[in-house]
Amino acid sequence: MKVDNGLINLHLKSTINELQLFDVTIDIDSKVSQLRSLFDDNSMIPGVIIVENTACNGVISRKDFFEALSKPYSLELYINRPIRFLIDSLDSIQTITLPSVMLIADAAQKALERPKEVFDNPILVENDAKFRVLDIYHLLLAHSEVNKVAMESLKEANDFKIELLSIVAHDMKNPLYTVKSIASVLLKSNRINNEELQNIFQIYDTTNQMLDHISELLNTTAIQTGKIQLKKQLTDLDEIISAIIYQSKAMIEAKNQIITYLPDKSQLYGAEVDPSKIRETFENLISNAIKYSPFNKEIVIGLEKRNDLIRFSVRDQGPGFTDEDKTKIFGKFQRLSARPTAGESSTGLGLYIVNKIIQLHNGKIWLESEYGEGSTFFIELESAEIE
């Protein structure tokens, strides 16, 4: 009889190097008193392998053994008898036998599928016809560690993917800006005909869309890696909104829409924010209103002071949002029920980025919408006095 706290890996073999298994065997014709001594002398072993004619007969667990002997008169009855008499009196010494090449995840799943009444029973692990005992709880602990290592590996792989995407996106920006600049110059030329003008405008518009998508991708990777940094300064929000509306003029006119923006000019709308990031959020909501509103509709932009807060709003007459849409409105890569009304493109990242930027500013963003009746997005930020 031998106790061996040797190391075996429940691939069980290559996944973890500290999985403790026990080589504790006793012949089925040995006395029950000898089995009791084995358990008493080795407090860590979860069970003992029962051998009959050198072949593995199964395993009897520490728990089952002492529960059996604790019954009235059982100790006196069995203590000096061969182990086979005790086994015959037990309801079961059920166990499962797993090959040592089995993955820890698969082994844990197999163990968890056992009936509740035998869940605590130890497991037999076979390696080259040699059997060892494994505690179920040690296996589950190993499974937890394996999952932890796997998650860390996935995180490393994901971080690498994000970094690679960021590098590629950065590399794409410069040539696209060059194409956009050339197209912009050609659009102002008097030496091209209408057909050429349309082709150049399409190049300009497509390049612009690609640059928007790249900016969204870069923002998303920065948010995911925690690398986004705010450069706050005192900013006039009214100036930002007015500039966005002016630059959106071509989009508005193309759909014959009207934008109404009538802030109280007696008020100053200052806030301590990162102007480029806040401009990005306002621009996203305004461009979405244009994109998803039908032709010939009005878009109302609001800006008002409410005590120490400034509230920005964008109300459109688009399709609105369903209850399902509202549950995932600020999620990443979401496809909602609404569709652009003139074939414009969308990555499903815009509102996710807007929400994250507003959170970084300790602000608040929300949606009010009834399906079929348009929608209104609101943003609230802390105000600051403009001197």
For the chain, the domains span 25-134, 146-224, 233-382
Which stretches in the chain have pLDDT values below 70?
1-18, 91-94, 160-171, 173-174, 177, 218, 220-221, 223-227, 333-335, 337-348, 387
pTM of the model: 0.52
Q: Do the Cβ atoms of 108 and 139 come closer than 8 Å?
A: yes
User: Which DSSP state fits 17?
Assistant: S
Which token pair is 156? 């490393």
CATH entry 3.40.50.1100 includes domain 233-382: no
The DSSP H or E segment spanning 291 is: helix 275-292
User: Tell me, what's the pLDDT at 87?
Assistant: 83
Fold for the domain defined by 146-224 = Helix Hairpins (1.10.287)
Q: Do the Cβ atoms of 382 and 360 come closer than 8 Å?
A: no
The three-state secondary structure class of 345 is coil
User: Tell me, what's the pLDDT at 1?
Assistant: 42
Q: Please, which residues have CB within 8 angstroms of residue 57's CB and are 6 or more apart in sequence? A: 28, 50, 51, 87
Distance (Å, rounded) from C-alpha 216 to C-alpha 207? 14
User: Tell me, what's the pLDDT at 364?
Assistant: 96
Measured between alpha carbons, how far is residue 189 from residues 37, 204, 220, 247, 249 in Å? Answer: 100, 14, 37, 20, 20
**Lookup result for tokens 């590996």:** 153
DSSP 170-239: HHHHHHHHHHHHHHHHHHT-SSS-HHHHHHHHHHHHHHHHHHHHHHHHHHHHHHHTT------EEEEHHH
**Lookup result for tokens 């560690």:** 145
Q: Do the Cβ atoms of 102 and 12 come closer than 8 Å?
A: yes
Which token pair is 69? 């002997």
Residue type, 129: A
Q: Do the Cβ atoms of 49 and 24 come closer than 8 Å?
A: yes
**Domains 146-224 and 233-382 belong to one CATH topology:** no
Distance (Å, rounded) from C-alpha 378 to C-alpha 361? 15
Distance (Å, rounded) from C-alpha 299 to C-alpha 264? 18
- Extract the runs of DSSP E, i.e. beta strands, from the chain: 25-27, 47-52, 55-61, 97-99, 123-127, 130-134, 233-236, 258-261, 270-273, 298-306, 309-316, 364-369, 375-382
- What are the respective helix, strand and coil percentages of the chain, to the nearest 5? 45, 20, 35
CATH entry 3.10.580.10 includes domain 25-134: yes
Which token pair is 273? 């924010």
CA angle 108, 110, 114 (to 5 degrees): 110
CA angle 292, 221, 214 (to 5 degrees): 50
Q: Do the Cβ atoms of 35 and 82 come closer than 8 Å?
A: no
